[in-house]
Amino acid sequence: MGIFLRGLLCVSLLLLSALAPAFKNGKLSGTVTDSEGTPISRAVVIIHWDSSGSTVGLESNVGLGEDVRLQTGQLGAYSVDIPPGFYDVFVSAQAFSPSCRKVRDRPDSVSTFGPKLRMDPLVFRELD
């Protein structure tokens, strides 16, 4: 029985190592700034997987089961490891108009999206 279990373990490890390269994560990062280039802390970043690529046979569109939501740090930066695929990245902050862009994340790479948010005209008029 011990030889059988060791053999099964070896076969399992070989199968996992063969599948591992197909599911290596990439990284999505960026710095959110205002129109003057000043970092915006506590901006909300929402990452939504666009599954349409996988429905037409694109095997590298692994994606996420649910949206990722995070906030930028003190210097306006964010970074997250995500599976390869196409994503809609939505960024918003109080008093600023939001920004959104489609990003393709590839295995073992770094994709970036660092929008410059503009002051929302409605908020700006209220401040005058």
Tell me, what's the pLDDT at 5? 47
Tell me, what's the pLDDT at 128? 54
Domain boundaries of the chain, sorted by first residue = 23-127
Tell me, what's the pLDDT at 125? 59
The first and second tokens of residue 84, run together, are 């390869």
Positions in the chain short of pLDDT 50: 5, 7-21
Tell me, what's the pLDDT at 39? 98
Tell me, what's the pLDDT at 122? 75
Tell me, what's the pLDDT at 75? 97
What residues have CB less than 8 Å from 79, skipping those under 6 apart? 27, 28, 29
| CA nearest to 31, candidates 22, 23, 40 | 40
CB 32 within 8 A of CB 91: yes
CATH top class, domain 23-127: mainly beta
The pTM for the full model equals 0.74
pLDDT in tens, 27-63: 999 999 999 999 999 999 999 998 886 666 667 777 8
